[in-house]
């Protein structure tokens, strides 16, 4: 974690030097005079501050560059910990100075109290850090130049390469892979290409890639098929993360050319000669090679040169945890086979077969507990098999199995420990830029689906990301998440049609690995019980993650949490707690405070003392106090209402005018409050503004948030509303020249479908829109012409009578870029399109709860890839199937029609 700590420290140094609140002595001094404590008039204090911090910045940057591309070893891990601790200590010093100065300056009771920075003391702190950094850099360079042999290595000693594979122990038939086995058999044996082709098996650690590859390699029926198809040789070689090319070549040669003289003289042969001999051995033969456990594209680039490019139908089967390796090695998408987790029935079948042999069946009284045990393995074969081996040796009583099912004993802990060696390399060989991102995900409860937007916001606020100069930190954060998913460490649960992740989580085995590593590296600590929250468990931890909010009410636990004065993060992610609990507001260096699951009935005034905060999330119904403006570094401000409450639409609630002084704000989401007239102030970094009402969409406000990308407007109507209330602000949206996403929702308590039919001509929208969601307006369908002319619009969602009326007819060209169209809860009956030029690129159509809809135009079907119809008229279903038939008649077979009913 030293790499992430150094990035954070670099950013802190830069903020420290550039801080407007930092008061330095006005006396002029030189660096030498400061060292000798002789103050003469040479240089300003501000210039001197910049000079002495430059030394520290240089050492931090040089250490970071060394760490950037290195992997772990026992000695390097120890140095990593020392560098991390040094960075933490120095960062604490700098941020403590900043916090103290800000609080002193904002406390009017102190009058003329001198709050200027003690440059002499700061110089001593910087000297101490730079000397430590230089020493550690020397040690680090020495260790890199003199590495110890790696303990983790899949490949056997090259003197005995013939023993690399041992299939003498026949395992139980695999479960849940019959489709993959059939696909591999087809891809290997069928003559779909005469070129050398690679089939890739990709999936997370422990999912069964190697076992399936062995099954393919030794299956008698596949072997007979290979011989029938003219395959003359085959080999199975495990690569691993620390592979050595020479040993891989010798392993393949030992299996395809056992009698070669090269094998007898292997010690005296150069690598180039060995590679040429291997190529010659394969040149005129049809071969089948299994490359198991490939870890990088570079490894594949090194290996593929060993296989001659001949058009004889040879095949390579490759297994990997990394999707980028699969894509680089397989030329065709259909040759990449993604292995998935087992379902509940498959999990139970595998567990049962491993616990009970063919001679004994599972007793019926154990089946319910057994199914629960299998379900707790979350579909991962290696965990199922490991738990099964423990159960096989233990007593087979209902009482014992129930305890295992409820995790009341140590069976699962033992299983996790046994498989940790298989899982750990997935973390150990992560690029340095991804390690902190991965460990951070353990902060959330097990199996919790984390919203992408929240996760990325937290990463950005933490300060451990360093994007390239040409990209924003938000884009870099998204790439990091995609990198973790492509490495099969993170599971993407929900994605949009373009494949962008919406929610994600960790598998239980990686969640445990995350928390073990995070706690060991003092990165973060999860507290679920009283014991987890005591001083011994949380001492020196950088981040506290509370999964049981009631812990704050336990005196000893609260006291121990409050003692972690250098903590940067407090995340309360347990079940929602409707009663106030005493949160630790004394952690003055906090950057992240996420307390959405705790209700506040009064505004917590102490939060204004947390001047280092960048992310603040609360649940609170009242008026936001003006003291929040003291949080000048705040980037993300989220305040939600208590569940089940709704503010009166007649009561106006505004954010304090001082909010306009918080120039670093990127994201504001405050339900029930609005922005006041800025009086000339500006929020230049604000990208997202959500859950405000139309009162926030005045011309003065919109002109002062020029870089806004996402706007969400929520309009709550009273029973006596005027018809023009939801519409008057639409013409103001033209001031937002960069906005890409707009969501406008009318919350209509009387459930009337025609909120504003008389004012449909007033609809005006920014031309920059890429995504538009409307709900509850009741516009006439003829108003759709305005939306059809938005040339950049890709996603359109029409919900709860956004448009009203029985007929939608389109006669002109339009919707030039639209990919996704959702129509939900509409009274539409007839939908007609004049020609195929209207909605020419539509790929996904979703229709929900449209019970009167009788027509879907055939003309929109040219590019459609998927139609999803939920709880709608059967005539609409018929139309969708007719579009599918029309596509097939024209030679296109990619349209998928899905019909769902809540009655099923």
3-state SS, one letter per residue, for 425-470: HHHHCCCHHHHHHHHHHHHCCCCCCEEHHHHHHHHHHHCCCCCCCC
pLDDT at residue number 153 = 40
Nearest to 448 by CA among 494, 502, 527, 506: 506
Domain ranges, ordered by start, for the chain: 2-145, 158-338, 344-420, 430-520
pLDDT for res 191: 64
Q: What percent of the chain has pLDDT over 90?
A: 57
**pLDDT at residue 516 above 80?**
yes
User: 157 pLDDT band (50/70/90 cuts)?
Assistant: very low
Distance CA 487, CA 468 (A): 21
For tokens 């008649």, the residue is: 889
pLDDT exceeds 70 at position 53: yes
Span 660-687, mean pLDDT?
A: 93
Lowest mean pLDDT among 524-533, 627-636, 643-652, 779-788: 643-652
Nearest in space to 325 (alpha carbons), one of 461, 203, 142: 203
Interval 243-257 mean pLDDT: 90
Nearest 10 degrees: CA dihedral of 713, 675, 577, 375? 40
pLDDT for position 37: 46
For residue 113, what pLDDT is reported?
Answer: 46
Has residue 549 got a pLDDT over 90?
no
Residue with the two structure tokens 């007793």: 363
158 token code pair: 């090259």
The whole-number pLDDT of residue 166 equals 38
pLDDT at 523: 95
Of 501, 500, 412, 395, the closest CA to residue 451 belongs to 501
Q: What is the pLDDT of residue 145?
A: 80
The whole-number pLDDT of residue 570 equals 95
pLDDT of the residue at 323: 96
Over the stretch 303-326, which tens digit does the pLDDT of each residue have? 888 898 888 889 999 999 999 999
Instruction: Return the higher-pLDDT residue of 205 and 574.
Output: 205
SS3 19: coil
The structure tokens listed for 50 are: 């910049």
pLDDT at 295: 94
Type and span of the H or E element at 780:
strand 779-780
How far, in Å, CA of 428 to CA of 439, rounded?
12
- 55-71 pLDDT, tens digit each: 889 999 999 998 887 77
Q: What pLDDT score does 890 carry?
A: 85
323/204 Cα distance (integer angstroms): 10
- pLDDT category, 722, cuts 50, 70, 90? low
* H-helix or E-strand spanning residue 81: helix 74-106
Residue 580 near residue 601, CB atoms below 8 Å:
yes
The whole-number pLDDT of residue 148 equals 58
pLDDT at 74: 61
The pair of three-digit structure tokens given for residue 644, joined into one six-digit string: 């089940």
pLDDT at 580 over 70: yes
Please give the full DSSP string across 261-330, using - where no structure is assigned. Answer: HHHHTGGG--HHHHHHHHHHHHHTS-EEEEEEEE--HHHHHHHHTTS---SS--EEEEEES-HHHHHHH-
CATH topology of domain 158-338: Rossmann fold (3.40.50)
Angstrom distance (rounded) from CA 367 to CA 365 = 6
Contact in structure between 542 and 519 (CB atoms under 8 Å): no
Measured between alpha carbons, how far is 81 from 520 in angstroms, rounded to an integer?
Answer: 10
Residue 142 has pLDDT above 50, yes or no: yes
Per-state percent for the chain, helix, strand, coil, to nearest 5: 45, 15, 40
Mean of all residue pLDDT scores within the chain: 86
With beta carbons less than 8 A apart as the criterion, state whether 823 and 849 touch. Answer: no
Specify the pLDDT at position 512: 96
**More confidently predicted of 890 and 473:** 473
CATH tag, 430-520 = 1.10.10.10
Residue with the bigger pLDDT between 49 and 10: it is 10
In the chain, % of residues over pLDDT 70 = 86
Q: Report yes or no: 147 and 187 within 8 Å, Cβ to Cβ.
A: no
DSSP 8-state code for residue 601 = S
pTM of the model: 0.91
For the stretch 461-476, pLDDT in tens is 999 999 998 899 999 9
CA 437 to chain centre: 8
E strand or H helix at 784: helix 784-788
How many residues are present in the chain? 904
CA dist., res. 696 & res. 120, Å (int): 49
**What pLDDT score was predicted for residue 40?**
41
pLDDT value at 881 more than 80: yes
What is the distance between the alpha carbons of residues 753 and 777, in angstroms, rounded to a whole number? Answer: 7
DSSP letter assigned to residue 230? T
Work out the burial of residue 812: count CB atoms within 10 Å of its CB; fewer than 13 is exposed, 13-18 middle, 19 or more buried. Answer: exposed
The token pair at 667 is: 């994201």
Structure confidence at residue 141 (pLDDT): 87
CA angle centred on 417, ends 415 and 419, rounded to 5°:
70
| Sign, Cα dihedral of 18, 20, 22, 27 | positive
Is the predicted pLDDT of residue 275 greater than 60, yes or no?
Answer: yes
What is residue 798's predicted lDDT score, i.e. its pLDDT?
98
Q: What integer is the mean pLDDT of 192-196?
A: 75
Chain CA centroid to CA 667, Å = 19
822-866 residue pLDDT tens? 999 999 999 999 887 889 999 999 999 999 999 999 999 889 999
User: How do residues 258-268 score in pLDDT, each as one tens digit?
Assistant: 766 666 666 66
**Using CA atoms, how far apart are residues 886 and 192, in angstroms rounded to an integer?**
29
């Amino acid at each position: 974690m030293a790499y992430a700590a150094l990035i954070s420290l670099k950013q802190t140094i830069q903020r420290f030097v550039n801080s407007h609140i930092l008061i330095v002595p006005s006396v002029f001094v030189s660096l030498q005079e400061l060292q000798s404590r002789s103050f003469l008039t040479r240089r300003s204090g501000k210039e001197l501050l910049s000079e002495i911090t430059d030394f520290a910045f240089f050492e931090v940057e040089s250490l970071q560059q060394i760490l950037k591309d290195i992997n772990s070893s026992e000695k390097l891990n120890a140095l990593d910990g020392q560098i991390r601790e040094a960075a933490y200590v120095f960062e604490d010093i700098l941020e403590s100075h900043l916090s103290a100065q800000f609080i002193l300056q904002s406390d009017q009771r102190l009058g003329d109290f001198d709050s200027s920075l003690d440059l002499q003391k700061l110089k001593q702190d910087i000297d101490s850090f730079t000397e430590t950094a230089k020493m550690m850099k020397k040690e680090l360079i020495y260790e890199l130049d003199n590495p110890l042999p790696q303990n983790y290595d899949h490949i056997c000693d090259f003197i005995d390469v013939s023993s690399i594979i041992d299939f003498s122990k026949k395992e139980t038939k695999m479960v849940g892979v019959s489709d993959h086995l059939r696909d591999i058999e087809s891809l290997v044996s069928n003559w779909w290409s005469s070129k050398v082709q690679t089939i890739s098996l990709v999936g997370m650690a422990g999912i069964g890639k190697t076992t399936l590859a062995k099954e393919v390699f030794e299956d008698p029926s596949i072997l007979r098929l290979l011989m029938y198809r003219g395959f003359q040789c085959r080999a199975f070689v495990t690569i691993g993360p620390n592979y050595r090319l020479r040993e891989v070549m010798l392993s393949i040669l030992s299996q395809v050319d056992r009698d070669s003289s090269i094998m007898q003289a292997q010690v005296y042969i150069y690598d180039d000669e060995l590679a040429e001999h291997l190529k010659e051995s394969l040149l005129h033969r049809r071969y089948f090679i299994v490359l198991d456990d490939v870890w990088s594209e570079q490894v594949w680039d090194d290996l593929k040169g060993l296989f001659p490019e001949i058009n004889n139908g040879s095949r390579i089967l490759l297994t990997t945890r990394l999707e980028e390796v699969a894509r680089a090695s397989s030329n065709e998408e259909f040759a990449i086979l993604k292995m998935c987790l087992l379902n509940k029935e498959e999990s139970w079948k595998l567990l049962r077969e491993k616990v009970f042999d063919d001679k004994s069946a599972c007793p019926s009284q154990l089946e319910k507990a057994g199914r629960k045990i299998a379900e707790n393995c979350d579909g991962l074969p290696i965990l199922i098999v490991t738990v099964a081996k423990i159960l096989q040796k233990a007593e087979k009583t209902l009482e014992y199995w129930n305890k295992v099912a409820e995790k009341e004993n140590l069976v699962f802990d033992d299983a996790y420990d046994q498989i940790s060696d298989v899982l750990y390399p997935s973390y150990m060989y992560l690029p340095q830029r991804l390690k902190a991102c991965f460990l951070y995900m353990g902060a959330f409860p097990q199996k919790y689906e984390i919203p992408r937007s929240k996760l990325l916001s937290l990463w950005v606020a933490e300060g451990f990301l360093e994007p390239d100069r040409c990209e924003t930190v938000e884009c870099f954060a998204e790439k990091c998440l995609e990198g973790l998913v492509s490495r099969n460490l993170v599971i993407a649960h929900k994605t949009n049609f373009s494949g962008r992740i919406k929610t994600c989580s960790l598998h239980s085995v990686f969640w445990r690995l995350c928390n073990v590593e995070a706690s060991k590296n003092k990165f973060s600590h999860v507290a679920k019980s009283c014991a987890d929250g005591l001083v011994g468990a949380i001492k020196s931890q950088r981040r506290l993650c509370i999964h049981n909010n009631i812990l704050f009410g336990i005196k000893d636990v609260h006291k121990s949490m409050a003692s972690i004065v250098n903590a940067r993060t407090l995340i309360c992610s347990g079940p929602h707690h409707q009663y106030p609990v005493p949160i630790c507001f004394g952690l003055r260096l906090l950057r992240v405070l996420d307390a959405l699951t705790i209700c506040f009935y009064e505004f917590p005034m102490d939060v204004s003392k947390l001047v280092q905060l960048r992310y603040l999330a609360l649940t609170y119904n009242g008026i936001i106090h003006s003291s929040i403006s003291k949080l000048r570094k705040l980037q993300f401000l989220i305040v939600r209402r208590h569940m089940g409450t709704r503010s009166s639409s007649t009561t106006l609630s505004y954010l304090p005018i001082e909010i306009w002084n918080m120039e670093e704000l990127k994201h504001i989401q405050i339900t029930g409050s609005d922005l006041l007239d800025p009086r000339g102030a500006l929020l230049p970094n604000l990208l997202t503004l959500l859950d405000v009402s139309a009162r926030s969409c005045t011309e003065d406000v919109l002109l002062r948030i020029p870089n806004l990308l996402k706007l969400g407007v929520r309009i709550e109507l009273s029973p006596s509303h005027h018809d023009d209330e939801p519409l008057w602000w639409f013409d103001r949206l033209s001031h937002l020249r960069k906005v890409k996403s707009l969501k406008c929702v009318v919350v209509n308590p009387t459930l009337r479908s025609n909120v504003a039919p008389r004012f449909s001509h007033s609809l005006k929208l920014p031309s920059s829109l890429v995504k538009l969601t409307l709900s509850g307006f009741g516009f006439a369908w003829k108003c759709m012409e305005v939306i059809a002319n938005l040339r950049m619009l890709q996603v359109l969602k029409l919900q709860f009578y956004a448009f009203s009326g029985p007929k939608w007819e389109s006669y002109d060209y339009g919707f030039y870029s639209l990919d996704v169209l959702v129509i939900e809860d509409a009274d539409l009956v007839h939908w007609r399109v004049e020609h195929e030029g209207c909605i020419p690129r539509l790929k996904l159509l979703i229709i929900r709860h449209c019970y009167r809809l009788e027509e879907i135009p055939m003309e929109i079907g040219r590019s459609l890839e998927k139609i999803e119809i939920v709880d709608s008229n059967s005539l609409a279903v018929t139309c969708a199937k007719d579009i599918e038939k029309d596509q097939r008649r024209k030679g296109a077979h990619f349209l998928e029609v899905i019909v769902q009913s809540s009655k099923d």
